[in-house]
A and B are shown apart, each in its own frame.
Chain A
Amino acid sequence: MLPDLAAPNNRKVTRKTLLFLLLAFMAQAQGFSQDRPIPVCLSLFNESTAIPFTRFFTTPVHPGMQIGTEFDYSVKPHSRWFQTANLSYFYHSYLTQGIGINTELGYEYRMTGGFAVAGLFGLGYMHTFATTEEFTFSGGQYEKKTDKGNARLFPSLSFDIGYYLQGAEPYSPKIFLRYQAWAEYPYSPDFIPVLTHINLHAGVKFFIHKSSGNHE
């Protein structure tokens, strides 16, 4: 039997995940306490339910958006390890809408000429709400009630290809296309244990200079 996040044991799992995410975000904040430009990654994406890596762009478009930031662990001339922290939202017609926070461990390789490739592995928490009218069985009959949503974990694996507009400049803005495969768990205990998704992001990374407030 699959765990239900509402069950007491699994609330611990959810709490652990949230604690992990909180620590990750605090680490980000620690990084920002230094007087360095803050990277901001902003993307629009198309979400779909799909088996990862069997589909690329799908229709109908289920729109989503994500904002996040990054914190570098180690930087070398052509590569870096980094951590992300993201907030995202998507709307899947007739099925669900979700708002999630996640963090990812990423590795990026910068090539000459401004191109870069990256891979990211992440874990997050998502709360989903039905986008179609929902009725709850209560007291022997169905009633329309406020949708409190469903708690989910969402591991993800992403690959992106990007282009730094100012070449090797460390704070160069970057445009990127990201393929994100992720899973929604637990989806429907005893029925559909896991539902897999893909998000195809088109985004931009830019830096905010704390001292001047200017955007690059």
Chain B
Amino acid sequence: MNKFIILLVALVAVSACRDGETIEPSFYTCAFNFPDSSMSNPDNQQYQDLLNEIISNGVVGITMSVSKPQTGMWIGAGGMADLHNGVAMKPCNISRMGSTVKMYTAVTVMKLQEEGKLNLDDKISAYLHGDVIDKLENADKATIRQLLQHTSGIYNYIQNLVFQTASTNDLIREWKPEDLLRYAYHKSAYFAPGEDVRYSNTNYILLGMLIEAIEGKPFYDVFEEKLFLPLGLTLTSFAAKDPVPDGIVRGYIDIYSNLQVLESTYFSGWDYYTADGGLISNPYDMSRFFQALMQGQILNASSLDEMLTWQTPKDPDPEFYPIDYGLGIFKIDTPQGIAYMHSGDAIGYYANMIYFPDDSTTIVYAVNSNYGKIDQYVSTQSAIENILETVKP
């Protein structure tokens, strides 16, 4: 018995936690190809103070862009990109943007409609077959528009506790679409298609598969051809191409809700190959994308109108702004006015992009830490209000 106890103690000692990678600061080198006038922006100090305040609450690092027609683009950063190597966050650093990719997915689908390759009111089952349709309740009846707007009623695989524990069990597994969809197979739909609105990542996995079925290539290649390259989004990519690309900031999770964070840079494997997550970018590129979309530079007016046609859930989330759902985009009513937005989570990362149609103010921010006590400072309604009060007083 004594020998066993000694062995246990020795095991704990020997198997001490693994240290972070040693990474040279040059790994995080990045640059903008535009004349950065952030330092001379009249609100520079207020914005920087805001970032510093957010960091002072325990957020590891943050990058933010604020674009206003009268003052141009401001970009800034606070906190750390890499705690192990002591590297400070820079405004140009790239990060995981999670579900914000859904807006890119939706825009790509809208472009395919403009090209005459699909109609939003086609059933998804006209393009996809097999298990995906047979084993997902409502998939045989739902239209492309309903998937885009989360009115399909199809079960959200992420809500499945078996998936949640399985992803925790293998934190560095790289999940393929069919692996994820399996957790939604044979699950009851939330409602009949078109009856209500409920967010479901499963919808956007199907939309990624739709893009691939029509274009005959990976959906992220289509993103590149139709969005990233034409818009010059040089620091935007999709995780499937390179899950942990050079320059990506380290991610951290406050998994025990005690502001003792663990590095999670390699943990987002269910976010690599499906069109419901996996975007890697920075606030500058995302701001340019969002503004180009809203200014009619990507889609024609008719498509944009369709994107901005809203549906309201019967049971709104009581802990967040009431949300109206468009196609890959949300509308919220803030004290600063109506805003369009989409946010996104990955393991150790969070991002949010917000656009005010009244004056074209565009705010994008990304942090490299989440969960536990950190979420209240980055992703809740009060966190967003705090940012909006400073940026759009």
Contact = CB atoms under 8 A, between A and B. Distances in A.
Interface of A: 40, 42, 48-51, 54-55, 58-60, 62, 65, 67, 87, 89, 91-95, 97, 99, 129-137, 140, 142, 144, 147, 150, 187-192, 195-196
A132 B83 CA distance: 13
B314 interface: no
A95 B165 CA distance: 12
B170 interface: yes
Contacts of B263: 132-133
B115 interface: no
Interface of B: 1, 4-5, 8, 11-12, 15, 17-20, 56, 58, 60, 80, 83-84, 161-162, 165-166, 168-172, 252, 255-257, 259-264, 266-267, 371-372, 375
Contacts of A87: 4-5, 8
Considering the complex of A and B, which 3 residue pairs feature the smallest CB-CB distances, nearest first? A137-B259, A49-B168, A137-B58
Given A49-B165, A60-B170, A97-B15, A134 B4 contact: no
Given A67-B1, A131-B18, A190 B257 contact: yes
Contact of B12 (A50, A99, A136, A190): A99
Contacts of A130: 17, 260, 262
6 contacts: A42-B4, A50-B165, A99-B12, A133-B20, A133-B84, A196-B165
Contact of B19 (A65, A133, A136): A133
A95 B260 contact: no
Contacts of A191: 255, 257, 371-372, 375
A188 B257 contact: yes
B17 A132 contact: yes
Nearest to A140: B56
Given A50-B166, A131-B15, A188 B255 contact: yes
A209 to B, nearest CB: 15
Contacts of B172: 94
Contact of B165 (A51, A140, A188): A51
Nearest to A69: B1
Contacts of B4: 42, 67, 87
A142 B261 contact: yes
Given A87-B4, A94-B18, A137-B259, 6 more contacts: A50-B162, A97-B15, A130-B17, A134-B262, A136-B260, A142-B80
A134 B260 CA distance: 6
A67 B8 CA distance: 10
Contacts of A99: 8, 12
**Chain A residues touching B, majority SS:** strand
B168 A195 contact: yes
A188 B372 contact: yes
A192 B19 CA distance: 25
A189 B17 contact: no
A87 B264 CA distance: 30
Contacts of A132: 17-18, 262-264
A58 B1 CA distance: 29
A50 B169 contact: yes
Nearest to A150: B256
Nearest to B167: A49
A133 B18 contact: yes
Contacts of A49: 165-166, 168-169
Contacts of B58: 137
A103 to B, nearest CB: 16
Nearest to B5: A87
Contacts of A62: 169
A54 B171 CA distance: 19
A89 B267 contact: no
B1 A40 contact: yes
B12 A59 contact: no
Q: Which of B166, B168, B256 has the most CB of A within 10 A?
A: B256
A136 B373 CA distance: 13
Contacts of B168: 49, 95, 195
A94 B256 contact: no
Contact of A58 (B169, B255, B256): B169
Q: Which of B5, B255, B371 has the most CB of A within 10 A?
A: B255
A210 to B, nearest CB: 13
Q: Which of B20, B80, B169, B264 has the most CB of A within 10 A?
A: B169
B260 A137 contact: yes
Contacts of A196: 165
B171 A95 contact: yes
A65 to B, nearest CB: 7
A91 B372 contact: no
Contacts of B256: 150, 187-188
A62 B5 CA distance: 20
Contacts of B5: 87
Q: Which of A87, A93, A130, A187 has the most CB of B within 10 A?
A: A130
Contacts of A140: 56
A36 B99 CA distance: 63
B17 A54 contact: no
A60 B173 CA distance: 9
A94 B19 contact: no
Contacts of A51: 161-162, 165
Nearest to B80: A142
Contacts of B262: 95, 130, 132-134
Given A89-B12, A134-B262, A94 B171 contact: yes
Contacts of B84: 133, 144
Contacts of B260: 130, 134-137, 147
A179 to B, nearest CB: 16
